[in-house]
Amino acid sequence: MNELVNMHYVVSAALFSVLGLGIFVLGFIAVDLLTPKVQVWKELVEKQNIAVAIVLGSCMLGIATIIASAIHG
């Protein structure tokens, strides 16, 4: 019986992880769509624009914090 309870936690953690990653990807796409003048991927990879990387990183950190709070709470 104890093993079934532990398996429930593993399945729940895996489900929330997949759900959180999916929402995180949707958040990245939303940020990319909200910046129409800047092609985010081109700026990051080809031009190696540090300023865009910092702004995008802070947006992603904020989105990740919101997702973690929603899942935890």
Predicted model pTM: 0.70
- Letter string b/e over residues 16-45, b meaning 16 or more CB atoms within 10 A of that residue's CB: eeeeeeebbeebeeebeeeeeeeebeebee
Q: Of 73, 26, 35, which Cα lies nearest the Cα of 56?
A: 35
Please give the pLDDT value at position 54: 93
Q: Are 68 and 20 in contact (CB under 8 A)?
A: yes
Q: Is the pLDDT of residue 1 over 70?
A: no
Whole-number mean pLDDT of the chain?
84
Whether 63 contacts 24, CB under 8 Å: yes
- 6-20 pLDDT, tens per residue? 788 888 888 888 988
- Per-residue pLDDT for 58 more than 70? yes
Instruction: Please report the pLDDT score of residue 6 as a whole number.
Output: 78
